Amino acid sequence: MRTQVAIIGAGPAGTLLSLLLRQQGIESVVLERQTKEYVLSRIRAGVLEWTSVEIMRAAGLSERLDVEGHRHESIKISWRAEELLSIDFERLAGKPMMAYGQTKIQEDLYAAADAHGQDIIFGASDVEIHDPNSDAPWVSFTANGEPVRLDCDFVAGCDGAHGVSRGSIPDSIKREYERSYPFGWLGILSETPPLPHLLYANHERGFALCSERNPMLSRYYVQCPLDDRVEDWSDDRFWSELLARVPKSEADNIVTGPSIEKSIAPLRSYVCEPMQYGRMFLAGDAAHIVPPTGAKGLNLSISDVHYLATAMAAHYSGDPGQLASYSETALRRVWGSVRFSWWMTVLLHRFPDQSPFEQRANEEDLHYLSRSEAAQTSVAEQYVGLDL
């Protein structure tokens, strides 16, 4: 087989990249290890930056998002279950956020790929990248039990945190930056109406977050020890823990109900530099991971592939410069989001070894945030996402 761009991974990054390239008249083949049903069943992110909404709109992928997405104009942050501050994005940063689940985005991307006849090979195993640093890279894989060779001009590694693409950058070139956090998030989905705003809580029992997927689907999280198991958490235990961590005025408005999904996710910050090696380019979780506190993971995947598709289009039009500097361009935005997500995580969680001094310093940060419009503006513009 031959194509212009071999894309590894059909998550949001890989599928969106194939559609953006198609818009520019560039052919691609997408190789996905899992089945389509498996990818669609993964419950993950749910909050889009406005820049992501605009990228989806420009790509003609926003028909359902514009109808079913729910604008969020503010977040609230509480501490000690009594103090409460509100940050108004629309007023301070001139943009809202959009609540729209990753599963719906993935469904929309697959529907568009089907409509355009985009080649996505599901169940592709043993994917390997060959000669990424040559003028003729190629990818080998197994499909339906048969070995296949895919020749291409470029390889896009969109295969997430556990993919193979990052491994094709030699250790002598690769720099990795990492921070693991000593706790996890226990998350549930429940078919109950959410609060009208996102609510983040810093509490002595641990962090909590009230979020949403749509007007009848709520997403709630509580910080938990990393070695907790989902079976340890009955719905009753979850709800009583959540309600204890938020102010009474908010708890009174939370509608509880049976969970329809429950999982525990570890939290990690990670960046791989550079995001390119020869003719292989990384995008999304393949290159970086952020803790979900700042709602940035999915948004970074979208901005990476926007930069990559634009640079590839410039290359095929005779301007190779943007592709040569793709890593540098993408990493500037990546580090902004990595820093913000780390800052939000440190500010709002209780670390097992946290000293009373560090906790008081965090509370003072929150007091300052509640008093200073300048500080709120800084958070608002980072939360809604800086311009591309």
Question: Minimal distance in Å, beta carbon 225 to ligand FAD?
Answer: 17
Radius of gyration of the chain (CA): 21
Taking CB under 6 A as the rule, does residue 164 contact ligand FAD? yes
Among 5, 7, 298, 344, binds ligand FAD (CB under 6 A): 298
Q: How far is the CB of 82 from ligand FAD (least distance, A)?
A: 26
* 246 close to 197: Cβ distance less than 8 angstroms: no
Q: Which of 181, 200, 221, 277 is catalytic?
A: 200
Cis previous bond, 274, omega within 30: yes
Q: How far apart are CA 138 and CA 157, in angstroms?
A: 13
CA pair distance 348, 344, nearest whole angstrom: 6
Placement of tokens 């070139």 in the chain: 173
Q: Decide if residue 143 touches ligand FAD (CB under 6 A).
A: no
Beta strands in 35-174 (DSSP E): 47-48, 70-72, 74-79, 83-88, 97-99, 119-122, 125-130, 138-143, 146-151, 154-157
Interacting residue with ligand FAD among 7, 10, 59, 267 (CB under 6 A): 10
| One of 3, 5, 9, 250 touching ligand FAD (CB under 6 A) | 9
Site membership for ligand FAD, residue 292 (CB under 6 A): yes
Instruction: Identify which of 125, 119, 51, 127 has the alpha carbon closest to the alpha carbon of residue 89.
Output: 51
Helix (H, G, I), strand (E, B) or coil at 375: helix
Count of residues near ligand FAD by CB under 6 A: 33
Reply yes or no on whether 72 is catalytic. yes
Cα separation, 23 vs 64, whole angstroms: 19
Asked if residues 78 and 247 have their Cβ atoms less than 8 Å apart, the reply is: yes
Active site residue 316: no
> Could you please report the per-residue DSSP string of 159-225?
--TT-SGGGGS-TTT-EEEEEEEEEEEEEEEESSPPPSSEEEEE-TT--EEEEEEETTEEEEEEEE-
- Alpha-carbon distance of 282 to 276, in angstroms, equals 6
Task: Between 144 and 317, name the residue whose CB sits nearer to ligand FAD.
Answer: 144
Of 238-246, 293-301, 363-371, 379-387, the segment contacting ligand FAD by CB under 6 A is: 293-301
Verify whether residue 100 is a known catalytic residue.
no
Coil, helix or strand for 267?
Answer: strand
Binding-residue pattern over the window 244 to 283 for ligand FAD, x denoting contact by CB under 6 A: ---------------------x------------------
Establish if 69 lies at the interface with ligand FAD (CB under 6 A): no
User: Which residue in the set 3, 276, 301, 345 belongs to the binding site for ligand FAD (CB under 6 A)?
Assistant: 301
Q: Is the dihedral of CA 99, 104, 108, 113 positive or negative?
A: positive
Our CA angle for 259, 299, 163, nearest 5°, is: 85
Q: Please give the residues from 123 up to 142 whose contact with ligand FAD meets the rule CB under 6 A.
A: 124, 127
Catalytic residue among 12, 72, 306, 326: 72
Contact yes or no for 275/286 (Cβ under 8 A): no
Nearest approach in angstroms of CB 252 to ligand FAD is 25
Closer of 163 and 206 to ligand FAD (Cβ)? 163
Cβ of residue 160: shortest distance to ligand FAD, in angstroms?
A: 3
In angstroms, give the least distance from the CB of 350 to ligand FAD. 20
Catalytic hit among 76, 296, 315, 349: 296
**306 assigned to active site:** no
Q: From the CB of 34, what's the least distance to ligand FAD, in Å?
A: 4
Is 295 a binding residue for ligand FAD by CB under 6 A? The answer is yes
Site of interaction with ligand FAD (CB under 6 A):
8-14, 31-34, 39, 44-46, 102, 124, 127, 158-160, 162-164, 265, 284-285, 292, 295-298, 301
Q: Which residues form the catalytic set?
A: 72, 200, 292, 296, 383
